[in-house]
Structure 1
Amino acid sequence: MSVLNGISVSVGPVLFKAACPDCRSRFELAAGALRLAIGGSRRTTFYSFTCPECGSAVRKPAGERIVELLTGGGVRTLRLHSTV
């Protein structure tokens, strides 16, 4: 529960719309079902999840806006570091 202008507001869990490229199913996932990896470039910044329909491991690129939405929605984030 949060307070907005003195009014108590009950906020439910955040759900994210997603789709599986393998089985083409569309569904909603809770923050706990997603993982976000932030790397040093666009190629190494992505989010991943397991398709609840077919069980495929899905990995999709995450631009700045997606990163902002996922982190704001409570998705666990892993920061990737260079070994150089």
Structure 2
Amino acid sequence: MRNMSVMPGISEQVGPVIFKAACPDCRSRFELAAEALRLAIGGSRKTTFYSFTCPQCGSSVRKPAGERIIELLTGGGVRTLRLHSAL
């Protein structure tokens, strides 16, 4: 369990973060732990996305990530990769 401070001097036990997701291929809905997701942050909306593998059909899923999604995923412990353009 992770400790998260709600107010200075007070901590609260928090369990693992779970994210709800859906597969566009098989249309299954499921829950994923932070370890099952990846977040890539690029220089544009086209290069900023999150991805996962559908646990039902095995498809690789890639979805766009706006500011709010980035905030939720990083706050939930999803591993993040920052993409840089080659010069």
Could you say what the CA RMSD is over the residues aligned between the two structures, in angstroms? 1.4
Distance 1:72 1:8, change over 3 A: closer
Q: Secondary structure at the match of 2:32?
A: strand
Q: Which runs of 5+ in 1 are unaligned?
A: none
Alignment-derived partner of residue 71 in structure 2: 68
Task: Pick which of 34-43 and 3-12 moved more.
Answer: 3-12
Matches within 5 A, 1:1-84: 1-5=3-7, 8-84=11-87
AA aligned to 1:53 is: Q
So what's the TM-score if we normalise by structure 1?
A: 0.92
Query: Identity over aligned residues, as a percent?
Result: 82
Q: Which runs of 5+ in 2 are unaligned?
A: none
Q: CA deviation at 1:38?
A: 0.2
Matched pairs, number = 84
